Amino acid sequence: MHATHLHQVYQRGSHLREDDVRRKPRAGYQFRSRALRDRAQDAGRLGAVGLLAVVCAAVFHFMIPKARNFTPGSLNPKALARTVGTHLADPLLRRLYAIGALFMTVFGAVYTVIGYRLVEARSTSRRASSARSSWSIW
């Protein structure tokens, strides 16, 4: 197998060995298992989302207006500590910071649990090959 072909398979998002793919005459590579094909498709989708993100960032960079009347301040540690202390002395701002921290914690916990549930459902359905299992995450 040529190194360029292995490089193309690697670029599709899978870290595959030469044993994982087989050459069909004049038809490119065919994956031996459905799981490897799914991994390659997922990697392709992830690459498309990454490319879309780069395009959106470039469009944003060129469309954002230039800053006017902005003078950057110096990063004096004492002044920064004084400003943070003033903000933390305000009871309303402390409540807002607590709400923000709570929301970020809940957000992280929910998406972690959803990820584990989805992986568990997928692995359970693979193990029960003859029985149909539901893809419900709850």
pTM for this prediction: 0.40
Residue 78 identity: K
22-76 pLDDT, tens per residue?
A: 544 445 555 567 777 777 788 888 889 999 999 999 999 999 998 888 888 778 9
Q: What is the mean pLDDT of the chain?
A: 76
Q: What is the pLDDT of residue 71?
A: 85
**Least confident span in 5-19, 43-57, 79-93, 94-108:** 5-19
Count of alpha carbons within 13 angstroms of residue 133, beta-carbon side: 15
Q: Span 106-132, mean pLDDT?
A: 74
